[in-house]
Amino acid sequence: MARIAVIGAGMGAMAAAARLAVAGHRVAVYERGDTHGGGVGRLERDGFCFDTGPGLLHLPAVYRDLFVKTGKEPLEQCVELRQVDPAGAHVFADGTTLTLPNASRAGVVGALDGAFGAGAGERWSDLINRAREVWDATRRPLLEEPLRADPTALVDDPYPALRRAWWRRGPAPLAKVARRELADPRLAALLEAHALAYGLDPRHAPASATVLAYLEQTFGSWYVRGGVRALADALYERCLARRVEFTFAAEAGAVLVKDGRAAGVEFTDGTTVDADLVVAGVDPVGLTRLLPPRFAAEDPRGAVDPAGAGSAAGVAAAAEGGQLGRFSVLLALRGARPAGTAHRTVVHPADLDAEYAELFPARPGRRATPDGPGGGVARQPTVTVLRPDDLDLVPDGDHEAVTLTAAARPHPAVDWTDPAVVEQAAQRLLTAAAAVLPELSERLLWREIRTPYDTARDTGVASGAVPAPALAGAGGARLAPANVTPLPGLYRVGGWSHPGGGLAHAGMSGAMVAGLIVDGADWRGSQ
């Protein structure tokens, strides 16, 4: 039985802790904040509850497997999962509205033809078929097994259309593929929104990012009753049931090293704990600061700055436009949620390229737009409106809890402590959301705002950026740091490590770290 110290109580860290405890190890989790969940937070006020992180779950099988492997009660006995149907509505600047069914290929084709004209559904379906080939090619090396020491197989983009002669004339990022293969700019916006939701610049993200749309359409979107925070609570309770120990308000200051191995953790208050192994659920820059200079220098892939600056892989990430955070406006409304309201509606702007130019710094050799990059969010942003049908989130049935979210530039690239900047961004989201909530001013009781600075405060990621899923292609720039580090006995876990960000990916990282520790370095993932 090994003594294992886990730094951080995010979803990936808790997933690893529960699995390791079941394997017979003594596991202790040390969290800098005062609660568990990492970026999966909750805001409660006056009987209203809001998720302050992700609002939907994809690939719930990851957490079903976790709960099966760590106890007698399956996931559905611990939380109530609901398929979101329709999967979402979309509102476009030309007035077109689109409602897509959940996990129905034929239904999606029919809805697209009805909204955009005959042939639109077939073009989308053909692209999703190609995205499935990306899934088949990358599922195992990206999602089911640790990142190989030589990730050469993931450097090239597996999107099949790139083999065509007319794609060989130059780079073919997601936006270029979307606009050429889908033809209709509204269809392209539908695809590109999947990348932007994870803070990726579709103009530079690899075409393999089409897999994000494939995953959602194929495996569906799921909602956890009480909000996604209820999933974090259930995982925390599972850890406690497996005798994982938690210490909060314990900020790590350094990873202790003895005889060339990780040997424990020193905290910022000077106290220390000994451990045989250390699992770090922190971002790569934060982990670099915890390591002795020798080991930090030996780990260039770990030195990825989530704001898009740094060395080695960080330089590659910066060249791709950096990584964004999220800006949210939480609305407490009087009046019941209207019948037939979609759980999720995406409001698309008229000019996607203008939004990208404002959000992402100019690439080397290119000029920024005259007034850009703009403020904290784009002047006309892509806005996601979440309106869950859940009485657990409101004082009673005569009220509604609504969340508006848009991609936002990181802190301190934008000073998110400036009230004027925050208010400007909030007004931009409210203006866009008027297409969905025209009666907002009459119904509004109060609002709360969440910025990348709040994310930084809650998670410890200095920029407040949100990690994106790892993707093949782009010369390997979109791969996340490996779970194994050059320091023996030290492992990475969570959204900033392989296989990247997102609830499902964080859960997968926990399974990978547990497998590496329990079965050793030869473990190659699920069989």
Q: What is the mean pLDDT of residues 41-68?
A: 97
Q: What is the mean pLDDT of residues 262-290?
A: 96
Cis before 499 (ω within 30): yes
Name which of 132-136, 137-141, 145-149, 244-248 the model is least confident about: 145-149
Indicate if the pLDDT at residue 311 is higher than 60: no
Are residues 400 and 394 in contact, defined by beta-carbon separation less than 8 angstroms? Answer: yes
Name which of 202-211, 354-363, 460-469 the model is least confident about: 354-363
Name which of 139-143, 198-202, 327-331, 367-371 the model is least confident about: 367-371
Indicate if the pLDDT at residue 312 is higher than 60: no
367 against 239, higher pLDDT: 239
Percent of the chain with pLDDT over 90: 82
Indicate if the pLDDT at residue 86 is higher than 60: yes
Indicate if the pLDDT at residue 321 is higher than 50: no
Question: What pLDDT is attached to residue 283?
Answer: 94
Per CATH, is 1-40+60-78+227-320+463-527 categorized as 3.50.50.60? Answer: yes
pTM over cut 0.85: yes
Are residues 30 and 7 in contact, defined by beta-carbon separation less than 8 angstroms? Answer: yes
Q: How open is the CA angle 190-194-197, to the nearest 5 degrees?
A: 120
Question: What would the pLDDT profile of 16-49 be if each residue is shown by its tens digit?
Answer: 999 999 999 999 999 999 999 999 999 999 999 9
Question: What pLDDT is attached to residue 316?
Answer: 35
Amino acid type, 355: E
CA 51 – CA 53 distance, rounded (Å): 5
Question: What would the pLDDT profile of 426-454 be if each residue is shown by its tens digit?
Answer: 999 999 999 999 999 999 999 999 999 99
Q: What is the mean pLDDT of residues 51-80?
A: 96
299 against 428, higher pLDDT: 428
Q: Which of 486, 494, 151, 488 is nearest to 296 (CA)?
A: 486
CA 186 – CA 473 distance, rounded (Å): 25
**H helix or E strand, kind and range, residue 118:** none
Indicate if the pLDDT at residue 365 is higher than 50: no
Q: What is the mean pLDDT of residues 333-343?
A: 95
DSSP 348-387: PPS-HHHHHHHHSPPPTT-PPPTT-S-SSS-SS--EEEE-
Give the pLDDT band of residue 322 (cuts 50, 70, 90).
Answer: low
Name which of 230-239, 281-290, 320-329 the model is least confident about: 320-329
CA 212 – CA 190 distance, rounded (Å): 12
Question: What pLDDT is attached to residue 1?
Answer: 85
Q: What is the mean pLDDT of residues 452-462?
A: 94
Instruction: List residues bridging with 254 in a β-sheet.
Output: 266
Tell me the residue length of the chain. 527
Question: What pLDDT is attached to residue 372?
Answer: 45
Residue entry with tokens 């200051």: 253
Name the H helices within 183-269: 185-196, 210-219, 229-241
39 against 311, higher pLDDT: 39
Percent of the chain with pLDDT over 70: 90
Residue entry with tokens 């719930």: 60
| C-alpha separations of 1 from 258, 276, 284 in Å | 19, 10, 28
129 against 162, higher pLDDT: 129
Q: Count Cα neighbours of 461 within 13 Å in the Cβ-side half-sphere.
A: 31
Indicate if the pLDDT at residue 307 is higher than 60: no
CA 271 – CA 248 distance, rounded (Å): 14
Indicate if the pLDDT at residue 527 is higher than 50: no
Q: What is the mean pLDDT of residues 65-79?
A: 96
- CB-based burial label for 109 (10 Å; 0-12, 13-18, 19+): middle
Are residues 501 and 10 in contact, defined by beta-carbon separation less than 8 angstroms? Answer: no
| SS3 state at 495 | coil
The answer for residues whose C-beta is within 8 angstroms of residue 260's C-beta and 6 or more apart is: 488
pLDDT, mean over the chain: 90
Indicate if the pLDDT at residue 385 is higher than 50: yes
CA 373 – CA 359 distance, rounded (Å): 6
Residue entry with tokens 């019941």: 336
Indicate if the pLDDT at residue 526 is higher than 70: no
Question: What pLDDT is attached to residue 192?
Answer: 97
Indicate if the pLDDT at residue 96 is higher than 50: yes
Q: How open is the CA angle 99-102-105, to the nearest 5 degrees?
A: 90
Are residues 416 and 376 in contact, defined by beta-carbon separation less than 8 angstroms? Answer: yes
Are residues 346 and 352 in contact, defined by beta-carbon separation less than 8 angstroms? Answer: no
Name which of 153-157, 162-166, 426-430 the model is least confident about: 162-166
| SS3 state at 46 | coil
Q: Which of 180, 190, 181, 253 is nearest to 217 (CA)?
A: 190
Indicate if the pLDDT at residue 304 is higher than 60: no
Question: What would the pLDDT profile of 114-144 be if each residue is shown by its tens digit?
Answer: 999 999 999 999 999 999 999 999 999 999 9
Give the pLDDT band of residue 68 (cuts 50, 70, 90).
Answer: very high
Indicate if the pLDDT at residue 326 is higher than 80: yes
| Domain ranges for the chain | 1-40+60-78+227-320+463-527, 325-408+417-450
User: Hey, what are 28's tokens?
Assistant: 């202790």
Q: Which of 55, 93, 87, 52 is nearest to 381 (CA)?
A: 93
Name which of 8-17, 143-152, 334-343 the model is least confident about: 143-152
Name which of 99-108, 177-186, 417-426 the model is least confident about: 99-108
| C-alpha separations of 127 from 122, 157, 233, 314, 473 in Å | 9, 15, 38, 31, 17
